[in-house]
Amino acid sequence: MKMRVSQLKPEAGLRLIENVNGLTKKPIVPKDTIITNEVIDVLNAFAVKEVEAVKADNSEKLIKKKAKNHQIDPISESKQNDKKLLYFQQHYQEVVKEYKKEFQRWQSGGTVDISIIRRLVIPLFEQLEKEPIHVLFLQNYIENVQDYIYHHAISVGLISGYLAKRLNMNRGECFQVTLAGSLCDCGMARVNPGILNQNIINNDDQREIKLHPTYSYKMLQKIPSLSTSAKLAVLKHHERIDGSGYPLKEKGKNIHLYAKIIAIADVYHALICNRIYKTKVSPFRAIEIMTREMFGKLDVSVLQTLTNCLMPLSINMLIKLSTHQIGKILFIDHRYPTRPVIQLVESNEVIQLNEQNDISIKEILNN
C-alpha cells in the first residue's frame, strides 16, 4: 500500500513492494528492501514523498536472503560503505542531469531559477556533510567527458560548501557558498557552445571564455535570495592573490573569502577530472600542484583547509601508484600530507613516499 515517507518507521518492519525509481536506469532503492533509517535518509535525499510498502512477514529471513544475493549485507561494514557510495552517486547523477537541463535552458535565453538550483544542490550537500568520504570520489562519477561542465558545477558547489563548513562558517553562509559554487560557471551558457567541448582552444576562444564570470554575475545579480557576497564570489572566482586572474585582476584582500574558497574548489576539481584535452591527476597530485606550482595565486589558509579535509579521509584507502602497484595508505605525516606511508598489497612492504620522490599516487581506488 502507498505510505508517506514522513510516516515510515524502521521499527515497523516494513519492506518495499515496488522499486523506487529515479532518472537513472538503476532504481534508487530496489523492491523487497527492508525499511531502515539509512533507506529513509536516501528517500528523503531524493525528495521521494510516497512509496509502496507492506509489513514484512519475516524480516530476518528476507534480510538474509537479500544478503545472499549481495543486495543487503547487514554484517559487512565495507559493503555498507559501498552502498552509501552508490546511494550518493545515484543522487549526484540525478542532480547533474537536472542541472544539465537548466543549463540548456539558459543557453536558450532562460533565466536562473534559484529555487530549482537550491532544491537540487542543498540536499546533496547535506548528504555529503554527513559522509564527506564522497569528496574523494566525485571525479569518478563523470561517465562522459562531454558532460564535464555540468559535473564541474555541482562538484565545485559541494566542495566549496564543505570548505565553508570546515572554515566554521554558519549554516546560511555554507548554503550561500554552495549555491555560488554551483552557479559560478552559469555564464558559460552565454559562451559560444562550440567552444565548450573543443580539443584545442585558441586565443579568441580563451578571450570569450574569460567573459563567463561577468556573464554569470549578470545572470544572478537580481536574485534577492542570493547574497551580495555570493554574487561577488561568482564574479571573482577566477581572480588570483597575485593579481594574475580575471576579469578584474584584483589582488589579495580585495578578493572576497567566498571567491577564494570557490577558486580552490574550481581548480582542484578541474585537476582531478579527465577532460577532452587533459588527463586527470590524483587528489594527492592536485594538492601538490596547487601548493607548489600555483604558489602565491591561491589563498594559503583555504588550501590548507582543503588538504586537512581530504588527506585524513584517505587513511586505509587502496591506491594505485605510478609504478602500477596497489597499496594501502597506513599513515599521513602532517608535514608531508601528499606523501603518505603506504603498504604494498602484494609484498606487504611498507614504503614512505616522502623518501621516494620518483613514486607518486596515481589514483585512489574505491575500496
* 3-class SS string, 269-293: HHHHCCCCCCCCCCHHHHHHHHHHH
Total-model pTM? 0.78
Count how many Cα atoms sit within 13 Å of the Cα of residue 39 in the half-sphere of its side chain: 25
CB 314 within 8 A of CB 332: yes
pLDDT category of residue 303 using cuts at 50, 70 and 90: very high
Q: CA–CA separation, 116 vs 110, rounded Å?
A: 13
Average pLDDT over residues 60-75: 40
Cα–Cα dist 130/142, whole Å? 22
CB atoms within 10 A of CB 154: 27
d(C-alpha 78, C-alpha 56), whole Å? 26
Q: Is the pLDDT of residue 119 over 80?
A: yes
Q: Which CATH number fits domain 314-364: 2.60.40, 3.30.1490, 2.30.30, 2.60.120?
A: 2.30.30
Q: What is the pLDDT of residues 234-265, one digit of tens each?
A: 999 999 999 999 999 999 999 999 999 999 99
Cell 589582488 sits on residue: 251
Average confidence score pLDDT of the chain: 88
- Sorted by where each begins, the domain ranges of the chain are 2-70, 78-312, 314-364
Amino acid 70: pLDDT: 37
Q: How much is the pLDDT for 71?
A: 39
- 336 burial via Cβ count (<10 Å: 0-12, 13-18, 19+): middle
CATH number for the region 78-312 comes to: 1.10.3210.10
What confidence score (pLDDT) does residue 240 get? 98
Better-predicted residue by pLDDT, 85 or 233:
233
48-63 average pLDDT score:
68
pLDDT at 235: 98
pLDDT tens across 130-158, in order? 999 999 999 999 999 999 999 999 999 99
- For the cut 50, the answer to whether the pLDDT of residue 64 exceeds it is no
Q: Is the pLDDT of residue 284 over 80?
A: yes
Place of cell 587502496: 318
Average pLDDT over residues 52-70: 54
pLDDT in tens, 197-206: 777 888 888 9
- Could you give the residue ranges of the DSSP H alpha helices within the chain? 37-45, 59-68, 77-107, 114-130, 148-166, 171-183, 193-196, 203-209, 212-220, 228-236, 257-272, 283-288, 300-313
* pLDDT given at position 276: 84
Cα–Cα distance for residue pair 113/128, rounded to 1 Å: 23
Q: Do residues 309 and 351 touch, judged by C-beta distance below 8 A?
A: no
